[in-house]
Structure 1
Amino acid sequence: MTVTHIPSEMAEFTHWLGGLAARAERAGGWWAVFAERDPDGLGACLEGAELLPWDVVASLLQDVGEDPGPARGLYAAAAGAHDRRPGGAEALAARRALMEEEHRHAGTRIRELDLLLLTHPEPDSAQAARLAHDLAWTRDDLARAAARIADLADRLDRLRAAPAPAAGPDASPPPAPERRRPRGARYAWAADDDATGGPAPAAVPGPPAGGAEPRGARFRGRAADRTAAPAGPGEAAPGDGEAAEAAERAAANAVYALQRLRAQGRTGEAHVLLCEALGGPPARLPALAAALHRAGFGADWATLLWEAASLPPARLAAVAGALADAGRPDDCEQLLRQGLARPVEELAGAVAALVAEGHDREAQALLTAFIRVRTPEEAARLAAVHPALLVPRLGVAARSLSAADDRALRHALRVGGVLGG
């Protein structure tokens, strides 16, 4: 397809990108990876027909040792011009759907690789090393897909809500009588003294050359005096008012920091920030889930659930219980299903922790999912860890599925010596 017209903003960015590409090609690193994976797509971006995803731009800048901050505004202008072309909204929606499918695929593949590594008979073998290598790349795919979903969703929202473009950057948002910041966690990153008042995360400047770190939930203890406005009431974890307010504040801080990191193309640090949220009080996670969804970061919440599935048994149970208590049963059940790949000893610990905390329904859901996806022999090994606790509950789970599952479980329990007779 021949490109007959390239907006000036796209042309300027494409010219700049050509210079970056030349430097990045000499530096090696990510350039070689992207050129090998998608040479045609990379070529289209260098010609100005398509827009290179920001996470790729940021990776190339990292390879050549350049600060991504100055490039972010240039990229934002190019993205706006690119998206305003005829069919731009439809193209963004289609691209987002494709990225969501890639995100799901990467998540499934991570689960498969995790299970293979957990059950590999020779953890130090060359094959296990290859599995670990594949897992690392698939996690990168997952993080990049999540970053692109968030970016595409934001660009699509902005395109649909944008008025006709002004004559120039100095033309005058008549001036509004007051500069109220937009409501909602999507704009929690916007500083109160932002002169533009515009909800454009792409235009947030990058860190200074000295490498100052973003403020927010990741840097607990220094964030209290720089807190973004809470995303909204009514969605915090159960508890007294002070605990609920703290949960909302922590969620708003996390979204603020996440937005800044995404705007700067620092996808790896954004992923670390999300994972560190799992180290905090489990009762705060439902508020974080709500804030992420409101901000258009639903894909990041899905990633966080995948990471939570690898938590130690007691911690996994605590997170699942907090989600259930907060009225998020679907998230709770998804988390428990994703944890099914772990060894039976750990699953037994998770069930025991759930029961001890009064979450019998969630414990039963975990065991039912276990019966559905694991073999009867594995169910017998699970029951043997704690027969008094698990045998009756596994029986209930099997009977809820089918008579055949019930018979298969009973046979496996007898063969395994767990059930007499």
Structure 2
Amino acid sequence: MTVYQLPVEVAAFTSWLTDLVGRARPDAGWYGVFAARDPEGLRACLDGAEILPWDVVESVLQDVGEAAEGPFAARGRALYEEAAGAHDRRPGGVEALAERRHLMEDERRYAESRSRELGERLRAAPDPDEAARLEHDLAWALDDQTRATARVTELTARLDRAVARPSARSSVAESSAAARPTVEAPPGAQSGKAKRRPRGARYAWLDEEAEEAAEAVPLPALPAGGAAPRGARFGGAVESGGAPGARGPAPVPDPVEARRAAANAVYALRRLRSQGRSGEAHALLCEALGGPLDRLPALAAELHRAGLGVDWSTLLWEAASLPPGRLAAVAGVLADAGRAADCEQLLRQGVARPVEELAGACAALHAEEHHREAHALLVAFVRVRAPEDAARLAGADPHGLVPQLLSAARVVSTSRERDLLHALRVAGLAGA
């Protein structure tokens, strides 16, 4: 019988991970979903036989209320990188990584096809109950697609690091040579030199040019396996100046510029999809959430006009994980543009966030005079979250949130209002 001793780096990470999951509820949240979907795989990761995908770790951090940029999460990320490196350096590690990435590419393609199919069925569904079921299935398919894209990117980076190690044994180097064409940059470019940021239609939200010039500039080739998504689910969009999510003085929207940027983005999406570069198409959608938000309604209209409504659903799904202020800003822009259904869908999808973040989003909506949208957010929250979660949310601002939550619960049902009142009494907030 062969006894395998875990590398010290893997043991350190699994110890941190065990501490994390010990704080999560096994029957609720994302941890409950993962435990139900793949209990054996989760156990292998807790034992150190496999490395848990980082997007799963991020979701469990969200379950227990740990900030993604906090010290506990930062410590876990550092341990994760060290554990992944040690795991990948074991004999056969490169081959296993290449195989896993190949399988995950298949998963990504399937999830993308499934999302597109469900989006088409949702647009044609006349029955409200059927539409609600399809919307639920589409949300899960989009989550599968997003996670698969993130994992392809992560596995590609790990494979690059594994094959680039100067101490790699010759057998590993030989196996990596076969896999290398799928992970090398195409980006004719000389290594080690700084590169200018590409311009044109693919970057319509960052640096617009005339559409004619955009068509003349070929789309930049990015590493195989898809570009690293820059949207909300991958660290959040970069916000310009001031506190995160702060909008500052609202700029005067330029409808001509908004339509031109939207047309450029749709043109680029079609080109990327026609070339099979779906990961980069997803990254392009994420870029929209880091650009001028007043252009989002024009993008929505252009995507629907082009028959790409499923891409708009993907973008709303990404926006649901934005920082609280940015989430509120997107919801406000959609409401101001008369896209009430999109606004409500975004808020419904955002209620799975930690209650502290939802309190911030609610406060930001009120600060922007979007009281109706703040109420819609709380209605969606009390409809799907436990009364105890609502009491925790009320604790962030008892004077303001207790009456708002009770009003929202009253819209849902009298029994939900009664359950919330009980939870508020237990938390000592009933008289707030």
Q: How does the TM-score come out when normalised to structure 2?
A: 0.49
Aligned residue for 1:317?
A: 328
Give the alignment of 1:202-241 within 5 angstroms: 210=188, 215-216=200-201, 218=203, 220-221=206-207, 223-224=209-210, 226=212
Q: Tell me how far apart the structure 2 counterparts of residues 210 and 289 of structure 1 sit (CA, whole Å).
A: 36
Aligned residue for 1:17?
A: none
- State whether residues 200 and 214 of structure 2, in contact with CA within 8 Å, keep that contact through their aligned partners in structure 1: no
Give the alignment of 1:298-377 within 5 angstroms: 298-377=309-388
Amino acid at match of 1:281: P
Aligned residue for 1:177?
A: none
Q: Tell me how far apart the structure 1 counterparts of residues 119 and 403 of structure 2 sit (CA, whole Å).
A: 45
Q: 1:271 aligns with which of 282, 303, 322?
A: 282
- State whether residues 150 and 296 of structure 1, in contact with CA within 8 Å, keep that contact through their aligned partners in structure 2: no
Deviations 1:162-190 (A, max 9, x none): xxxxxxxxxxxxxxxxxxxxxxxxxxxxx
- State whether residues 199 and 207 of structure 2, in contact with CA within 8 Å, keep that contact through their aligned partners in structure 1: no
Q: Which runs of 5+ in 2 are unaligned?
A: 1-36, 38-54, 66-71, 85-100, 121-185, 190-196, 216-249
Please tell me whether residue 416 in structure 1 is matched to residue 427 in structure 2: yes
- State whether residues 324 and 357 of structure 2, in contact with CA within 8 Å, keep that contact through their aligned partners in structure 1: yes
Aligned residue for 1:389?
A: 400
Cα 1:139–1:332 shift into 2, 3 Å: farther
Q: Tell me how far apart the structure 1 counterparts of residues 209 and 347 of structure 2 sit (CA, whole Å).
A: 32
Cα 1:265–1:139 shift into 2, 3 Å: closer
Q: Tell me how far apart the structure 2 counterparts of residues 404 and 137 of structure 1 sit (CA, whole Å).
A: 45
Q: Tell me how far apart the structure 2 counterparts of residues 418 and 396 of structure 1 sit (CA, whole Å).
A: 15
Cα 1:243–1:418 shift into 2, 3 Å: same
* Residue identity (%): 57
Q: Tell me how far apart the structure 2 counterparts of residues 240 and 209 of structure 1 sit (CA, whole Å).
A: 35
- State whether residues 217 and 251 of structure 1, in contact with CA within 8 Å, keep that contact through their aligned partners in structure 2: no
Deviations 1:238-289 (A, max 9, x none): x999611111111011011111111111111100000010001111111101
- State whether residues 144 and 267 of structure 1, in contact with CA within 8 Å, keep that contact through their aligned partners in structure 2: no
Q: Tell me how far apart the structure 2 counterparts of residues 408 and 257 of structure 1 sit (CA, whole Å).
A: 50
Deviations 1:279-306 (A, max 9, x none): 0111111110110111111111111111
Deviations 1:198-220 (A, max 9, x none): xxxxxxxxxx9959978315154
Q: What number of residue pairs does the alignment pair up? A: 242
- State whether residues 309 and 316 of structure 1, in contact with CA within 8 Å, keep that contact through their aligned partners in structure 2: yes
Please tell me whether residue 244 in structure 1 is matched to residue 188 in structure 2: no
Deviations 1:327-368 (A, max 9, x none): 111111111111111100000000001111111111111101
SS at match of 1:311: coil
Aligned residue for 1:287?
A: 298
SS at match of 1:268: helix
Deviations 1:298-319 (A, max 9, x none): 1111111111111000000000
Q: Tell me how far apart the structure 2 counterparts of residues 227 and 242 of structure 1 sit (CA, whole Å).
A: 23
- State whether residues 317 and 350 of structure 1, in contact with CA within 8 Å, keep that contact through their aligned partners in structure 2: yes
Cα 1:385–1:277 shift into 2, 3 Å: same
Q: Tell me how far apart the structure 2 counterparts of residues 407 and 149 of structure 1 sit (CA, whole Å).
A: 37
Q: 2:63 aligns with which of 93, 109, 119?
A: 119
Amino acid at match of 1:218: Y
Q: Tell me how far apart the structure 2 counterparts of residues 312 and 366 of structure 1 sit (CA, whole Å).
A: 15
Tell me by how many angstroms 1:371 deviates.
0.6
- State whether residues 321 and 354 of structure 1, in contact with CA within 8 Å, keep that contact through their aligned partners in structure 2: yes
Tell me by how many angstroms 1:387 deviates.
1.2
Q: Which moved more, 1:214-223 or 1:259-268?
A: 214-223
Q: Tell me how far apart the structure 2 counterparts of residues 245 and 149 of structure 1 sit (CA, whole Å).
A: 32
Q: RCO greater where, 1 or 2, for CA within 8 Å and sep 6 or more? A: 1
- State whether residues 200 and 207 of structure 2, in contact with CA within 8 Å, keep that contact through their aligned partners in structure 1: no
- State whether residues 320 and 347 of structure 2, in contact with CA within 8 Å, keep that contact through their aligned partners in structure 1: yes
Tell me by how many angstroms 1:146 deviates.
5.0
Give the alignment of 1:40-55 within 5 angstroms: none
- State whether residues 352 and 389 of structure 1, in contact with CA within 8 Å, keep that contact through their aligned partners in structure 2: no
Amino acid at match of 1:223: E
- State whether residues 214 and 257 of structure 1, in contact with CA within 8 Å, keep that contact through their aligned partners in structure 2: no
Deviations 1:52-109 (A, max 9, x none): xxxxxxxxxxxxxxxxxxxxxxxxxxxxxxxxxxxxxxxxxxxxxxxxxxxxxxxxx9
Please tell me whether residue 260 in structure 1 is matched to residue 271 in structure 2: yes
Q: Tell me how far apart the structure 2 counterparts of residues 294 and 135 of structure 1 sit (CA, whole Å).
A: 32
- State whether residues 309 and 338 of structure 1, in contact with CA within 8 Å, keep that contact through their aligned partners in structure 2: yes
**CA RMSD between the two structures:** 3.9
Cα 1:150–1:341 shift into 2, 3 Å: closer
- State whether residues 277 and 285 of structure 1, in contact with CA within 8 Å, keep that contact through their aligned partners in structure 2: yes
Aligned residue for 2:155?
A: none
Deviations 1:364-388 (A, max 9, x none): 1110111110011100000000112
- State whether residues 344 and 382 of structure 1, in contact with CA within 8 Å, keep that contact through their aligned partners in structure 2: yes
Q: Which runs of 5+ in 1 are unaligned?
A: 1-108, 152-207, 230-238
- State whether residues 201 and 211 of structure 2, in contact with CA within 8 Å, keep that contact through their aligned partners in structure 1: no
Cα 1:305–1:142 shift into 2, 3 Å: farther
Following TM superposition, where does structure 1 have runs of at least 4 consecutive aligned residues deviating by more than 4 angstroms? 112-117, 120-126, 133-141, 144-151, 208-214, 239-242
SS at match of 2:321: coil
Please tell me whether residue 380 in structure 1 is matched to residue 391 in structure 2: yes
Cα 1:355–1:261 shift into 2, 3 Å: same
Amino acid at match of 2:414: A
Q: Tell me how far apart the structure 2 counterparts of residues 209 and 361 of structure 1 sit (CA, whole Å).
A: 47
Amino acid at match of 1:118: Q
